[in-house]
Amino acid sequence: MTHPIASRPHMPGYGILAADEGKGLLPWDWATDRLTRAHTYWVATSSEDGSPHVMPVWGVWLDGVFCFSTGEQSRKARNLAENPKCVIACELGQDQIMIEGVAELIIGSELNRRFADEYGPKYDWNMEGFDEPVYVVRPTTVFGFTTADGAFTGTATRWRFKVE
pLDDT tens string 37-62 = 999 999 999 998 999 999 999 999 99
DSSP conformation letters of the chain? -PPPEEE----TTS-PPPTTSTT-SPPHHHHHHHHHH-S-EEEEEE-TT--EEEEEE-EEEETTEEEEE--TTSHHHHHHHH--EEEEEEEETTEEEEEEEEEEEE-SSHHHHHHHHHHHHHHT---TT--S-EEEEEEEEEEEEE-GGG-HHHH-EEEE----
Residue 164 is predicted with a pLDDT of 58
What's the whole-number mean pLDDT along residues 59-80? 95
Count CA atoms closer than 13 A to 20's CA, side-chain side: 0
93-112 per-position pLDDT tens digit: 999 999 999 999 998 788 88
DSSP 98-140: EEEEEEEEE-SSHHHHHHHHHHHHHHT---TT--S-EEEEEEE
Residue 125 pLDDT greater than 80, yes or no? yes
> Residue 139: what pLDDT?
97
Rg (CA), the chain: 16
Count of the separate structural domains present in the chain: 1
Q: Which amino acid is at 63?
A: D
**pLDDT band for position 130 (cuts 50, 70, 90):** confident
pLDDT band at 131; cut points 50, 70, 90: confident
What torsion do the CA atoms of 57, 115, 46, 158 make, to the nearest 10 degrees? 90
Q: Is the pLDDT of residue 24 over 90?
A: no
pLDDT at residue 132 in the model: 85
Q: Is 113's pLDDT higher than 60?
A: yes
CATH number of the CATH domain containing 125:
2.30.110.10
Domain around 135: 5-160
Q: Is the pLDDT of residue 12 over 80?
A: yes
